[in-house]
Amino acid sequence: MTLSIDEIVGIAFRSKGSLIHRGALAHLCRMAQGAPAGTGVEIGVYRGSSLVAWSLARSGMGESIGVDNWSYPDPPNLKEHTEENLKQAGVTATLYDMDSEDAAALIPGPLAFVHIDANHTLAYVRKDIELWAPKLMRGGVIAFHDYGRTRADIQVRQAVDEWQAREPWACLGEVLTTIGFRKP
């Protein structure tokens, strides 16, 4: 049975602690479905609601991988919450409990889909783009959460805009705080 985007978003929001708006999550799912078959990776999982959503949207299209060091001070046991949320949604995903740079050294390309939602400071977002964008296959999709946020500690927009000025890819649209691009 194929789930609609609305059904997928509803399943993802059953898990506690989602940090993405419904409209942005629906956009993420549509971009994930529009990516080629192959492995998808999420950098920055937190409790796994977006990992659940795009994994369901890509059901049967390839492996789902989540990367996070789960070093958040509060709440505790986030990796266990993530594992439970994945289980309740019926999603199988490989979880890497490590930093993005360490995971990039272990996870081979080419990748079909990448969702970056980890450390939002400029240096880290730049590094995530440097590590993960080259791993995408031709036609692959990279998405960023918190692109539209304007807090001083969230510099996703600046890093993405700098990257796109150097390497323009086809923009798949921006919905609320989520934007995506297709690799030429």
- CB-based contacts of 55, cutoff 8 Å, min separation 6: 40, 64, 86, 91, 92, 93
Of 101, 170, 184, 97, which Cα lies nearest the Cα of 136?
Answer: 184
Do 99 and 70 touch, CB atoms closer than 8 A? Answer: no
pLDDT at 17: 63
Q: What is the pLDDT of residue 16?
A: 66
Average pLDDT for 159-171: 97
Mean pLDDT lowest among 35-39, 45-49, 64-68, 114-118: 45-49
| pLDDT tens digits, 140-152 | 999 999 998 888 8
pLDDT in tens, 169-179: 999 999 999 99
Task: End-to-end CA distance of the chain: give it in Å, rounded.
Answer: 32
* CA neighbor of 45 nearest in space, from 26, 30, 64: 64
CATH node for 5-183? 3.40.50.150
Tell me the per-residue pLDDT of 82-115, one tens digit each, with 9 for 90 and over.
Answer: 999 999 999 999 999 999 999 999 999 999 999 9
Mean pLDDT calculated for residue range 29-35 = 98
How high is the pLDDT of residue 18? 73
Single pTM value for the model = 0.96
Residue 135: its pLDDT value, please? Answer: 99
